[in-house]
Structure 1
Amino acid sequence: MSFVDFLEKKLSGPMAKISEQRHLRAIRDGVISALPFIIVGSFFLILAFPPVPKDWAIALWAKKHIFEILIPYRLTMFIMTLYISFGLGYNLAKSYKLDPLSGGQLSVAALLLTITPQLVKGQFMLPMTNLGGHGLFVAMLVSIVSVEILRFCKTKRITIKMPEQVPSSVSRSFEALIPVAIVILLMSLVTVVFGVDLHHVVEQVVSPFVKAGDSIFGVLVPVILIVFFWSFGIHGDSVVGPVARPLWEVYLAKNAEVAATGSQNLPYTAPETFFQWFIWIGGSGATLGLVLAMIFFSRSKYLKAVGRTGVIPGIFNINEPIVFGAPIVLNPLLIIPFVITPIVTTILSYVATTTGLVSATYIMPPWTLPAPIGAYLATGGDWRAVVLVVINIAISFVIYFPFFKIYDHKMAKMEQSEQADSGTTLSM
């Protein structure tokens, strides 16, 4: 058995199962469900700090009304964990064929019960900090526990069963009474009676991972894994994303919080937006350079056709037509630059960001924007981000080109041979 066959048969199955593991899938879907709020909320940061000279009218207006402008941000992206918690609980309950609404509501209640209200001037105030990226890991933990309690009660019939004549919506509410009581009592014991700050405890546990994930090594690992899995037809983002995305969301939220204060000294280099706009230009493997090579330098009719077909999706960061059409999957010649290109652009982009040559990202534009526009918006209007994107596209082209030429020559020769065979057959 060849190495490629071994990877395809022995690795593909287990990795596909990991990407579809119930809890990881619920985390992934929960984060994705909150993306509209994160994306729209982050744009209010641009409005609060417009990328124009400070003496322009819009900049002066924004400075005067910054408190009001940031209210939508603080009630959407700033408390993203609240939305993610509901989405996580909803999707996990749905995967168990439980009432998804009960799962989502239980998860939100459990998250809120990890936060102790503060008495300020005779009124109770709920601190919002732990509803942002800071509380994401706790939200994942308590949401999963809450839904598992709901499942346990349902499986063991520890519920209040209503007569069949009762409307289903009312029946579901009463079925959730005992699980809700258990979750509320459990979280109240932890937070109120024993005084345990789950957020502080979890922060201490995951702190080494958070720090390591923003290092050059921590940035390269997910990049290499994603393109490695894609090389064998496994959706790399689906395998790596559920594990890495919670970290990326924490980085993005923290950067946004600092940016909302007006500071440019953002703490993290590598939120998901760093990968999206500087590394995955044209899709996983940074294939836009390959597409350009196919269009302008291909002698093979097939590859030129694939390039023309893939250029528009590639501009909008969709590269399945190239990955499966060229193909790159299980193609020894194109796998090499497919892996090397993102490694090179990751190192360059990481150095450029950490040294201050390019601003760190803190806004999440829609991922289907062309990379130069997305990078400009993600960095709050840094024109140098556009330059870095152009440089990375050029690097992608240069790395892919020699491998593409070898493959193109092979494909063109094959087409000529087939054409000659076809002509001989017709003459006979």
Structure 2
Amino acid sequence: MQTFLKWIEFKLMPPMTKIGMQRHMVAIRNGVISTLSLILIGSFILVFANFPIPAVAAWLAPYTGNLTIPFRITMGLMAIYASFAMGDSLAKSYKLDGVTGGVLSLAAFLTLTVPLNVDATLIKGGGQGIGWVLPMQYLGGAGMFSAILTMIFAVEVYRWFIEHNITIKMPDGVPDAVGRSFGALFPAGFIIIFLWIVRVLLNFDINTFIMNIFKPIADIMGNNIFGAIVPMLFIHLLWAAGVHGMNIIGSIVRPMWLMMLDANMAAMADGKPLTKLPYVAPEQFYQWTVTMGGAGVTLSLVIILFTCKAKYLRDMAKLCILPGVFNINEPLIFGMPLMMNPIFTIPFIVNPIILTITSYGAVKLGLVNGFVANVPWTLPAPVGAYLATGNDWRVVVLVLVNLTIAGLIYYPFVKMYDKQMLDEEAKATMKKSVEVPAV
């Protein structure tokens, strides 16, 4: 076991940490996180518009189109918000102007979407035309990969122009906003003209091209049991070595998770049954049915600690139970500790894999609804799972079953550790009793 932990610490952890802390990965993570409030609002609106009580749903049906508008301008435009925020973050990491980086990233991303002129001849019944519009197909989660690539392209072009002093410098006294605008004129012109040539003149649809590349990967992660297991395996291997696994692995896979959630939400908005959604395993799948209480399914572990004889473990249970209910388990991971602890490494890694299998099977077989909402991660697991699946009571049963499975796996390891801690406490008490007080 020690050899395995050393392999994680010295072989697996350094390259993973390096990837997770790379400036472009950090910018992506910061940009996506900045859209969380909008994602939460859109999720709640969509769940409300598809109310689980048939009588209420029938009453709301005539108004569904209007009710889902907030969803379409939050989740439906998520890539737009993320594009600006990611560009702002990456530009600041280079000590460049963040607003300019965000604006250039957003302009680059929007250049990939060709506007359509919706005139009267395209409207059924010969109604009045509405002019130029932007199709929304790739402005939400489906366009996240395009937003990431255009963000990197735009900010790196901006940086190159600045480093080579190819800018228009305004005299002193000119307002900062005006100076920034003129300073970005050359890189903005290059970025927009280059992407216009690629998208319009060459008719190369970058959005479709990127989706064709990444959709098979998302399908493997979201609709394949082995693909669903891989993120949990690496996240918990890193956690076992004391590294925040979600920060590192999440930076890599979260864009795909967002694409999956966006596809599920769009399917729900279109009236598709919640047991027949496009993807099984977006991030919320893990959040609410696999990692209850935090990484390692530690909510089950905290509950078992109350049965321990060692005072230290009972005290840890009292300290960690309330944070654990709200999915905060750092006090347990670093205080018990679970990291670099040979006794708990096996259940800590195995539990999420087992629960991924049980949960995947439940969703795939239609025993519970798929995941269609991103609700606050600090909700207790049964509540969060219920809301994230469009108010499906069956997922609450799945959560309780999974907590029981995790508890059964943890139990023998807890008893082993409890015995070890009891021996240490007994030795400490004996040593204290034979010490001669200093005079």
TM-score range, shorter chain: over 0.9
Question: Equivalent residues in 2 for 1:197-208 (5 A)?
Answer: 197-208=205-216
2:37 paired residue number: 36
TM-score, with structure 1 as normaliser: 0.96
Worse-superposed segment, 93-102 or 168-177 = 168-177
1:427 Cα deviation from its structure 2 partner: 7.2
Work out which of the residue numbers 364, 372, 382 in structure 2 matches 1:362.
372
* Separation in structure 1 between the aligned mates of residue 315 and residue 272 of structure 2, nearest angstrom: 48
1:325 paired residue number: 335
- SS of the aligned residue for 2:435 comes to helix
Residues 251-272 of structure 1, C-alpha deviations (whole Å, 9 max, x = no match): 0000000000121121100111
* Separation in structure 1 between the aligned mates of residue 36 and residue 135 of structure 2, nearest angstrom: 23
2:236 paired residue number: 227
Question: Equivalent residues in 2 for 1:317-396 (5 A)?
Answer: 317-396=327-406
Say if 2:268 is the partner of 1:259: yes
Work out which of the residue numbers 231, 238, 254 in structure 1 matches 2:247.
238
Question: Equivalent residues in 2 for 1:133-152 (5 A)?
Answer: 133-152=141-160
TM-score, with structure 2 as normaliser: 0.94
* Separation in structure 1 between the aligned mates of residue 183 and residue 34 of structure 2, nearest angstrom: 26
Residues 366-411 of structure 1, C-alpha deviations (whole Å, 9 max, x = no match): 1110000000000001100110011111111111010010001100
For structure 1, the residue ranges without an aligned partner over 5 or more in a row are: none
1:305 paired residue number: 315
2:66 paired residue number: 68
1:230 Cα deviation from its structure 2 partner: 0.3
Aligned amino acid, residue 37 of structure 2: P
* Separation in structure 2 between the aligned mates of residue 70 and residue 350 of structure 1, nearest angstrom: 28
Aligned amino acid, residue 191 of structure 1: R
The answer to whether the 8 Å contact 2:219/2:279 transfers is no
* Separation in structure 1 between the aligned mates of residue 4 and residue 64 of structure 2, nearest angstrom: 58
Question: Equivalent residues in 2 for 1:247-286 (5 A)?
Answer: 247-264=256-273, 265-286=276-297
1:21 paired residue number: 22
For the aligned residue pairs, the C-alpha RMSD in angstroms reads 1.4
The answer to whether the 8 Å contact 1:288/1:396 transfers is no
Aligned amino acid, residue 48 of structure 1: A
Residues 25-45 of structure 1, C-alpha deviations (whole Å, 9 max, x = no match): 111111111111111111111
Worse-superposed segment, 121-130 or 103-112 = 121-130
The answer to whether the 8 Å contact 1:79/1:132 transfers is yes
Identity of aligned residues (%): 44
1:117 Cα deviation from its structure 2 partner: 1.1
Say if 2:173 is the partner of 1:175: no
Worse-superposed segment, 203-212 or 87-96 = 203-212
- Does the C-alpha gap of structure 1 residues 364 and 6 become closer, same or farther in structure 2, counting only changes over 3 Å? closer
The answer to whether the 8 Å contact 1:47/1:62 transfers is no
The answer to whether the 8 Å contact 1:111/1:142 transfers is yes
2:9 paired residue number: 8
1:10 Cα deviation from its structure 2 partner: 4.4
The answer to whether the 8 Å contact 1:285/1:339 transfers is yes
* Separation in structure 2 between the aligned mates of residue 335 and residue 103 of structure 1, nearest angstrom: 43
* Separation in structure 1 between the aligned mates of residue 260 and residue 246 of structure 2, nearest angstrom: 18
* Separation in structure 1 between the aligned mates of residue 47 and residue 214 of structure 2, nearest angstrom: 30
Residues 231-262 of structure 1, C-alpha deviations (whole Å, 9 max, x = no match): 00111001110111111000000000000012
- SS of the aligned residue for 1:361 comes to coil
Say if 2:401 is the partner of 1:417: no
* Separation in structure 1 between the aligned mates of residue 436 and residue 300 of structure 2, nearest angstrom: 39
- SS of the aligned residue for 2:132 comes to strand
1:3 Cα deviation from its structure 2 partner: 4.6
How many residue pairs align between the two structures? 424
2:118 paired residue number: 120
1:84 Cα deviation from its structure 2 partner: 1.1
For structure 2, the residue ranges without an aligned partner over 5 or more in a row are: 120-128
Aligned amino acid, residue 129 of structure 1: Q
* Separation in structure 1 between the aligned mates of residue 65 and residue 368 of structure 2, nearest angstrom: 27
The answer to whether the 8 Å contact 2:8/2:237 transfers is no
